[in-house]
Amino acid sequence: MKRSSTSVGLVIAVVSAATFGMSGAFIKPLLEAGWSPAAAVTVRSLTGGIVLAPFAILSVRGNWAVVWRSRWRVLGMALVGVAGTQLVYFAAIQRIPVGTSILIEYMAPPLLVAVAWVSTRRVPKAVVLIGSVVALVGLVLVVSPGGEGSFDLLGLAFAIAAMVGCAGYYVIAARPNDGLPPVALAGFGLLIGGVVLALVGATGLVPFTARFGDVHLFGNEVAWWIPLLIVGVVATAIAYAASITASEMLGSRLASFTGLLEVVAATFYAWLLLGEQLTLPQLIGGVLILVGIGFVRSEKADAPLEPGSTADATPARVPAPVPGD
């Protein structure tokens, strides 16, 4: 039963990574047209939250006590998983190269391994350590961080904060749901996080600009709201709901390693939709990430599920994923 649940969780995690990875290819035309990253992601989060809101309300079936019991988890998702991580990431890319920022942020999976090592005082199994190293090598090859840009201590600090926030997202997503469906956590978290991002943008702490003319998308001029709608529905609403569902089924460690496929997916979409070059090292890196996930998965199949995932709760009841992160 455990193997079956993990396999389903991995499929949902792959769906999440594939949909999350779409955001870059569709957001880039907006950025080139004059949108600031903070403005684009604010609209993205609010759109995703609005799309999921009806499903979130239906999923709780009028039992708002469940939402109240999970209020700190919802707030954690909103402030850490949606708003906080993205804000510090934007702050990082303003000071250091994007590739370096991404590389540091996506070191969250090994960070979770290290935290578990320290907190439990148990050395991770060899397959986990090997998987961590292999996946990290693959990540470096896929991201191919450039050496351009001067050393900026504050920029590195922001990138490290994004890494911690990314790890925190998986921990929050994998916590026992206490009856709160994943779609509710995703929907309410996105709505609150989007409002927080809008308020931060209104203060002027980060650049917040938007342009409402046509944008150049895949060789055609289209209305500005079309790529935002695609990102809001597919790369946000579906992606977050799928990611949280997968994290509850897999636990934070395996879910975070599988989340590295988002970087691979983003690179693939950039090649397919934007015509950006796809290099041999990036292809090798993608394969290495898959190998690393396989190592971590092999440990997961034999070991008890980590605390914080609903899969080891009694009775085991995992809410069904949202039809059609």
* pLDDT single digits (tens) 178-218: 899 999 999 999 999 999 999 998 888 888 899 998 998 87
Residue 218 domain-assigned (yes or no)? yes
Q: How many CA atoms lie within 13 A of 57 on its CB side?
A: 6
- pTM: predicted TM-score of the whole model, two decimal places: 0.85
Q: pLDDT at position 2, please? A: 58
- Domain span at residue 101 reads 2-312
Examine the pLDDT at 317 and tell me if it is beyond 60. no
Band of the pLDDT at 151, cuts 50, 70, 90?
low
Alpha carbon of residue 15 to chain centroid: 12
Q: pLDDT at position 148, please? A: 53
* Alpha-carbon distances of 5 from 57, 171, 237, 260, 321, rounded to whole Å: 26, 19, 23, 20, 12
Band of the pLDDT at 247, cuts 50, 70, 90?
very high
Q: pLDDT at position 150, please? A: 55
- The tokens for 203 are 């203060």
Which residue has better confidence, 98 or 30? 30
CA dist., res. 119 & res. 126, Å (int) = 18
Q: pLDDT at position 320, please? A: 31
Q: pLDDT at position 10, please? A: 92
Examine the pLDDT at 22 and tell me if it is beyond 70. yes
Residue 322 domain-assigned (yes or no)? no
Residue 224 domain-assigned (yes or no)? yes
Examine the pLDDT at 237 and tell me if it is beyond 60. yes
Band of the pLDDT at 310, cuts 50, 70, 90?
very low
Residue 68 domain-assigned (yes or no)? yes
Band of the pLDDT at 149, cuts 50, 70, 90?
low
Q: What is the mean pLDDT of residues 254-271?
A: 90
Listed range (51-55, 60-64, 103-107, 308-312) with the worst mean pLDDT: 308-312
Residue 55 domain-assigned (yes or no)? yes
* DSSP H or E stretch at residue 192: helix 182-203
Residue 318 domain-assigned (yes or no)? no
The count of structural domains within the chain is 1
CA dist., res. 295 & res. 51, Å (int) = 36
pLDDT digits (tens, 9 = 90+) for 84-140: 998 898 888 878 887 788 889 999 999 999 998 888 888 888 999 999 999 999 999
Residue 317 domain-assigned (yes or no)? no
Residue 325 domain-assigned (yes or no)? no
Examine the pLDDT at 268 and tell me if it is beyond 50. yes
The amino acid occupying position 218 is F
